Structures are given as C-alpha cells and as structure tokens.
Amino acid sequence: MNGEDLRSRILYQDANLLIVDKPAGLAVHGGPRTTVHVEGMLPALSLGYRHPPRLAHRLDRDTSGCLVLARHAKALSRLGRLFGAGRIEKVYWAVVQGTPNGEHGRVELPLRKVTSRDGWRIEGTTSGQAAVTDWLRLGGADGMTWLELRPHTGRTHQIRVHCASGLQCPILGDPVYAPPSERPLHLLARAVSVPYWADRPPVQVVAPPPPHMEAALRACGWVP
C-alpha cells in the first residue's frame, strides 16, 4: 500500500473534506515498528492543495472503512468540534461469534485501559469512562451474527470490547478480545454522516465490505 493506492480509495471529496476507505492492516499513525501508515501517505492526497490533509479521527489498524480527513486547518477545527460533540454519526458492521440476546439493544459499559508486561488492553469496569453503543442484528448463520453498531462515544476499542464483554459475542478475528484465529478482524467502519454545514444536508458516505469479510457476511444473509 502506498499513497497512490490510498488515493484510489477516496470515497468522497470536496473543498473541506476527504473520506477514504482505509484498508484493514494499514495503521493510521506511525511508530518505531510501523513504517507504513496513513499519515505518511497524506501528501499523495493533497490533490492540488498546498498542504496535505490531516486526520480528523482514527481507526484501529485492523479496522477497514470510512476515515475522515480535513483538507485545511479550519476544517480540522470544525471536524474536531463535531466529533467532540458527538454530532458525527458513525455506523459499523461486524460479524461476531455467537448470538446476542434479542434483535437490538444498547451496551452501556464503561471502559478503561489496563497496562501490563504483555502490553495493554481495554476492559469493561464501573470505574472506567462512560461508553455507549447501540446494536442491531442484521442476520446470522452457522454460529455467527452480522451486527450493525452505532457508537455514541469514541473510546479506544469500544466496539470490540462491547461486543466481547457486553454482548458476550467477540468479533471474528479479533486478536485481543476473541479466541485465537487466523481470520482478520471482521469489523468495518461502514458509514459516516458529517453535518459539516448547519444549513446543508450532511455529507453521507458508505464504504464497501473488505474482501476478507464477504464470505462471512454472505453466510449471514448479506446480498451485495
């Protein structure tokens, strides 16, 4: 994956925003062991602007789908306020192991980060930060369930922990919160709705399922 590849995955662009379909396995930020990442590819997304776009939020490395970028400083500030106020609606798809109770519901499980010699993870605990996720069953088969998830807060690993601990249905392929598996993480940032202008309709963008999720989604009833 390089900047040209990422440019081919632009889902939406205007004078203020870019929304790209981030592939699973590509980190958003760089680090000592992460030399290939979205931040390093942003110059390829300048598209005639003097400065490259900037990240307005983040997705986990293994999550694919809608990633919002700001094309200039004023847009970054506006998006920051919208994300902070919870006014940007995010919709995720996940294929999970097992079947939750009911057809829909809400998980209200506070979360906190726990660090040990083996690294860190997020745990549900009453002493954590408030975290709320609505869920809807879209289909299922063969011990799997296809869920639509709408987070109302933006905590790290929120959806992954809410599925694993709140619903007792870990996401397929989750390397931290599910039993060991050779499958990639089956989590997609499916859609985003950005009310950038108060007097105009929101920008609404949908990302396609990544190839590694298609078989499980089809088994659960998804029709392309």
Partnered with residue 206 across adjacent β-strands are 191
Give the C-alpha separation, 157 to 147, whole Å.
Answer: 16
Q: Nearest CA to 160 among 170, 175, 147?
A: 170
**Residue 157: CA atoms inside 13 Å, Cβ hemisphere, count?**
23
The residues, any chain, with a CB within 8 Å of residue 84's CB and separated by 6 or more, are none
User: Are 1 and 38 spatial neighbours (Cβ–Cβ below 8 Å)?
Assistant: no
Q: Which amino acid, residue 57? A: H
Give the largest Cα separation in the chain, rounded.
52
Q: State the Cα angle at 214 between 33 and 192, rounded to 5°.
A: 70
Q: Nearest CA to 3 among 47, 41, 30?
A: 41
Give the C-alpha separation, 209 to 224, whole Å.
Answer: 9
Catalytic residue among 14, 21, 60, 174: 60
60 part of the active site:
yes
Helix, strand, coil abundance in the chain, percent, nearest 5: 20, 35, 45
Catalytic machinery residues = 60
